[in-house]
Structure 1
């Protein structure tokens, strides 16, 4: 499965691997990317992981398409799942 994250072009940290540093940079610069993403995504505990991932990517794409300053970008990461028998 592929997961997506939103970030800004100037943020040097990886939101997947360095979330605390990424988040601190993001909030210190007034972006509030997590808050913006929360306003546009429609996720639920009742959805599957795949459905939630799709919805997060849809919301990220919407934010990027409507960003007049070209500040935001999308990062994709292939998440390997352990298959248990």
Structure 2
């Protein structure tokens, strides 16, 4: 399974493994990528985790598609699925 994140072409930090540094750089530049993504993605507590991940990826794709400044890009990280819990 892959997780996606929105970042900018000039951010040297990995949003998956270096989130604090990534976030500080992003906010310092005035991009506010997390807030931007939150406005576009229609996530919900009513959706499953997988459905929310799909919605986040859709929103990232839209941001990149309509990216007038040309600064955004999508990065992916492969994660192992969590094992099913059996009773």
Regarding TM over 0.5, the answer is yes
Matched, 1:35 2:35: yes
Structure 1 residues 23-55: Cα deviation after superposition (integer angstroms, max 9, x where no partner): 000000000000100010000111111100100
What RMSD, in angstroms, separates the aligned Cα atoms of the two structures? 1.0
In the aligned structure 1, how far is the partner of 2:17 from the partner of 2:56?
18
SS at match of 1:76: strand
| Residue aligning to 1:69 | 69
| Residue aligning to 2:26 | 26
For normalisation by structure 1, the TM-score amounts to: 0.95
In the aligned structure 1, how far is the partner of 2:16 from the partner of 2:81?
16
Deviation at 1:21, TM superposition (A): 0.2
For normalisation by structure 2, the TM-score amounts to: 0.93
SS at match of 2:4: strand
How many residues are paired up? 85
